[in-house]
Amino acid sequence: MRLNVNGKAHEVDVEPEMPLLWVLRDELDTTGPKYGCGIAQCGACTVHVNGLAVRSCSLPVGQVQGDVTTIEGLGSGGALHAVQKAWIEHQVAQCGYCQSGQIMSAASFLTLNPAPTDAEIDAAMSGNLCRCGTYPRIREAVKAAVKMLKGA
């Protein structure tokens, strides 16, 4: 089976029902996407397929149609994505285990909605669980990324 990940084509020999997450992590050693719950409850496994956020723990690899982007491939041309820059500037992470997924969710969301209201940010980011409680900083960083993207 062929899989495009972060701009690179891979041939993988796996069952089509294997979730994308485990193909990425254990077959391709791409460990930015994390295993948290396995049932699309926590969002730590979030990656993009054709630019849109999906929960890779619950997406069978056989159903993936299109290019997969993980946090490792989010930036372009060696530069970090605006969301990543905002995450660094606001020092969002504590343990950081959820943050790959948070960042991927935020980046996808801002593509769809470049000028969100506070309530829209809250709604969009509530699918990603953070056990450390970095939510106040996640809100600030998303808003900072909105400004950065507008200026871009």
Partner 1 sequence: MSRLASIARRTFIIGSAAIAGGVVFGVYMVRKTPANPLLDDKTSGEAVFNPWVRIDATGITLIAPHTDLGQGVRSVQAVLIAEELDLDWGQFNVEPGVPSAAYYNSALAAEQVPFMSTDTSTSAEALRGVMGAIFKLLGLQLTGGSSTVPDSFVKLRLAGAVARETLKVAAAKQSGVAIEQLRTEKGAVVLPDGKRLAYTELAAAASALEPVQKVTLRDPSQWRLIGKPMQRLDIVPKSTGALKFGIDLRFDGMLYATAKVNPRQGGKLISFDAKAAEGMRGVKKIVPVTNGIAVIADNTWRAFQAANAITFEWGPAPYPAEQADHWSAVAASFVPDRLDKEWRKDGDVEAALGGSAITAEYRAPYLAHAPLEPISAIAKVTPDRVDIWVSSQMPRFAQEKVAKIAGVAAEKVHLHNQYSGGSFGHRLEFENITLATEVAKQMPGVPIKLTFSREEDFAHDYPRQITMSRARGSVKDGKVDALALDIASVSSSASQMKRVGQSVPGPDGQIPAGAWNLPYALPHFRMRAYRVPELAPTSSWRSVGASSAGFFADGFLDELIHAAGADPMQERLRLANNAVARKVLEAVAEMSNWKGAKLGEGRGRGVAFVESFGVPCAEVIEVMQTPDGVRIDKVWVALDVGRVVDPVNFDNQVKGAVVWGLGHAMNCEITYADGKAQQTNYHAYQGMRLYQCPAIDVRGLENGEKVRGCGEPPVPPAAPALANAIFAATGVRLREMPFTKNIRFV
Contact with partner 1 (CB under 8 A): which of 1, 4, 67, 94?
94
What's the rounded Cα separation, in Å, for the pair 71 and 139? Answer: 19
Min. distance of Cβ 91 from partner 1 in angstroms?
5
Number of residues that bind partner 1 (CB under 8 A): 57
What's the rounded Cα separation, in Å, for the pair 101 and 54? Answer: 10
Q: How far is C-alpha 80 from the chain's CA centre?
A: 14
- When asked if residue 60 is in the footprint of partner 1 (CB under 8 A), the reply is no
Contact with partner 1 (CB under 8 A): which of 46, 56, 108, 128?
128
- When asked if residue 12 is in the footprint of partner 1 (CB under 8 A), the reply is no
Sheet containing 68-69, strands listed edge to edge, beginning at the edge strand earlier in sequence: 8-11, 2-5, 68-69, 46-49, 52-55
What's the rounded Cα separation, in Å, for the pair 94 and 114? Answer: 27
Binding site for partner 1 (CB under 8 A): 14-15, 18-19, 21-22, 25-27, 29, 31-39, 41-42, 44, 70-72, 75, 80, 84, 87-88, 91-100, 103, 122-123, 125-126, 128-139
